[in-house]
Chain A
């Protein structure tokens, strides 16, 4: 058992827990963008920063990664925390001016103006990496990756070509916190990440419900016959 303080309140935690997990459990609000309950954290967005004091040493850490420690003093709204958080939000808003999520958070944390020239080529992507991890860990195909570095970094399929391994499941779309990933179902086809998928039509109700490639993938993984998978959830 580890004991420490968050904003003056004495709290208890298990060894190995993160400050973020404990803070949320104890009712303190800490904004996050790249942390994911299932996929974990890798400390990219830096929105979840908190101040950790021990004696007269203080430092800014990312709460989504920082393991709890005995007798630390955590502050979730110190001046430095606010400075980093507001800076991150202003920077992200300049990068993704049309992202509703960023707009909302910026407003909430008092960022009312953007002092930079706004980007118009980054869409709503804040490079949180959630889609990459979703595809790799949850779907298990690893169709996405980060390429480039610095401000040119972006998420894409290898060489921006339609991916051989993407099954068009759309899990990345659901996972993306900003709604950056474009996916369209139309006329029996799904388009995502520049790849066009034929959608399977339910033999019972005639509704298009999932890409054929996805059903084949599931069939191979689960051993369930493809014909059975072609029947949609509603008609099962």
Chain B
């Protein structure tokens, strides 16, 4: 295989699709599939056939566009038109609208993306702030290529980096990765080139390269989108890495809950083998390499490097001590290089465009881009890829379009369950590995949960602790026993039974668990508490001393009242109250029976007149 041959494959495929006058991309990522994308795809195909347009219009299935919540997403041509929630209300109607766009270039207003104020409508993807503020390197081809067709990847420049890498010296490749400044996207931000070099020089054989696609953080889906949307970029990165490191066997660890990712990766591996990108004597270079998929059971801790390896070995996914690094003794006690799937997918472009190009993006110490899953109380939720160093404000208020319902921003939680909460005063902070760590949070795999004034930070800490209690593997004492005791204390505080000394006790336990735990899960498990204590200690104090929840979340600490001055007697709250404890005649002031109120907050949320107050 050479560049000439890749060009031939590309031009053959181009010839095949050249005749089409229009290309329509339908997102078939997990999000859009679950909101009905396949139905839209099938109906649209039928409609195109019956309109006699089969030869003229190509309908492509693509991976995730990052706007999953507004799926199914349909994009015309080169991002000229983006339609959202297609087929959500009525598939037939929406397919008719699509046909009208195809035939007469008629734009379907009601399928257009709307701005935060719900009035402005955007036609082209390029105009939508959510997209225009992004720098898509890793996700560049997501939403453009059909992940099940290798030729489509090749048309878009795929596997050329591999050809180039195979003509380079192994050490040169590692040097490029090193100089590019690429750091691991799986959490720790460890320099990738340094890791590769240590693995290459470690004694022992065989050597393994692994891709981490476990993605256990609740709400995170960037790795899934990548695996589903552009599996070949991950494979190409792994093949290049394996060549540089001197490995002949790779594994991709994917959680079992990601069947589509498994399917797309398996197909991609099959196609790569057919073209000889995987297998023996790749491109006559004498280099053999193959990849297997390993489906993990879906425990959060299995994303931790040693637990992941133990799990591939067929044992229960428990972490091991890492006093001897896994690059020296990893999978089956052999030198092993583990990288996150997003890290692997960054590699081909560094080889294609050079390390200088990559290192020109980002900040001094954090290069390139990072994909975040922006969720929570922000207007535009979804996947965003931004250059390292973009500020939190730019991400949340620029791309994210600010806080839902015009509420006030309170904090953003980054880094997954064991990350931390960052308050308003740090909104101008550039997001990179080191500044997040400095604030007691971390990059993690890129979760970003935005919280508004209605979030109680003690309750948030409680939520993450609960997750960690359940996800602790239970191997070591501080994490297994300690985190649940932290949860008990925080839970006590939330239910109004906090007492003097609780905060000091939490701090003491946090320190002991952080120092004494075996793996990263336990070592960082205190973070949700430590970071909320750092920035929101007053809120803890009010819970403990005044027995009040300022955000109005902790049920035991709040009461709901109807302000007679404001109540118009519209009866809305009464009809939404699940226990029927609101009484009052029409147009008369309503009242809440405090003895039966379950403090669900429904009345507060539905009242149009701000008449319901939480104390």
Chain A residues 78-107 with CB under 8 Å of chain B are 80, 83-84, 86-88, 91-92, 94-95
Q: Does B600 contact A (CB under 8 A)?
A: no
Q: Bound complex: CA of A63 vs CA of B524, how far in Å?
A: 21
B323 touches A67 (CB 8 A): yes
Q: Does B473 contact A (CB under 8 A)?
A: yes
Closest 3 CB pairs of A and B: A153-B474, A87-B512, A84-B516
Place the interface of chain B in its size category.
20 to 34
Q: Does B543 contact A (CB under 8 A)?
A: no
Chain B residues 72-90 with CB under 8 Å of chain A are none
In-complex Cβ contact of B480 among A42, A83, A86, A151 (8 A) = A151
Instruction: Count A-B contacts at CB 8 Å.
Output: 102
B473 touches A46 (CB 8 A): no
B482 touches A149 (CB 8 A): no
Write the B414-458 contact mask toward A (1 if CB under 8 angstroms, else 0): 000000000000000000000000000000000000000000000
A151 touches B474 (CB 8 A): yes
Write the A128-157 contact mask toward B (1 if CB under 8 angstroms, else 0): 000000000000000001101111110000
Q: Does B28 contact A (CB under 8 A)?
A: no
Q: Does B360 contact A (CB under 8 A)?
A: no
Pick out which of these stretches binds chain A: B93-101, B221-229, B503-511, B565-573. Answer: B503-511
Q: Bound complex: CA of A141 vs CA of B587, how far in Å?
A: 77
Which residue of the partner chain B has the closest CB to A69?
B323
Q: Does A232 contact B (CB under 8 A)?
A: no
Q: Does A222 contact B (CB under 8 A)?
A: no
Q: Does A60 contact B (CB under 8 A)?
A: yes
Question: Which secondary structure dominates where chain A touches chain B?
Answer: mixed
CB contacts (< 8 Å) of A149 on chain B: these are 299, 301, 470-474
A66 touches B474 (CB 8 A): no
A92 touches B481 (CB 8 A): yes
**Quick one: given A65-B323, A87-B478, are A150 and B512 in contact (CB under 8 Å)?**
no
Q: Bound complex: CA of A61 vs CA of B322, how far in Å?
A: 10
CB contacts (< 8 Å) of B473 on chain A: these are 149-150, 153
A117 touches B477 (CB 8 A): no
Q: Bound complex: CA of A84 vs CA of B299, how far in Å?
A: 27
Q: Does B140 contact A (CB under 8 A)?
A: no
Q: How many residues of A contact B (CB 8 A)?
A: 36
**Quick one: given A149-B474, A150-B471, A150-B474, are A87 and B484 in contact (CB under 8 Å)?**
no
B320 touches A150 (CB 8 A): no
B469 touches A84 (CB 8 A): no
**Quick one: given A46-B517, A87-B516, A95-B481, are A67 and B324 in contact (CB under 8 Å)?**
yes
Among B474, B475, B477, B484, the one with the most A-chain Cβ atoms within 10 Å of its Cβ is B477
Q: Bound complex: CA of A95 vs CA of B324, how far in Å?
A: 32
Q: Does B56 contact A (CB under 8 A)?
A: no
Q: Bound complex: CA of A183 vs CA of B290, how far in Å?
A: 51
Q: Bound complex: CA of A167 vs CA of B578, how far in Å?
A: 58
Among A87, A117, A146, the one with the most B-chain Cβ atoms within 10 Å of its Cβ is A87
A46 touches B518 (CB 8 A): yes
CB contacts (< 8 Å) of A46 on chain B: these are 476-478, 516-518
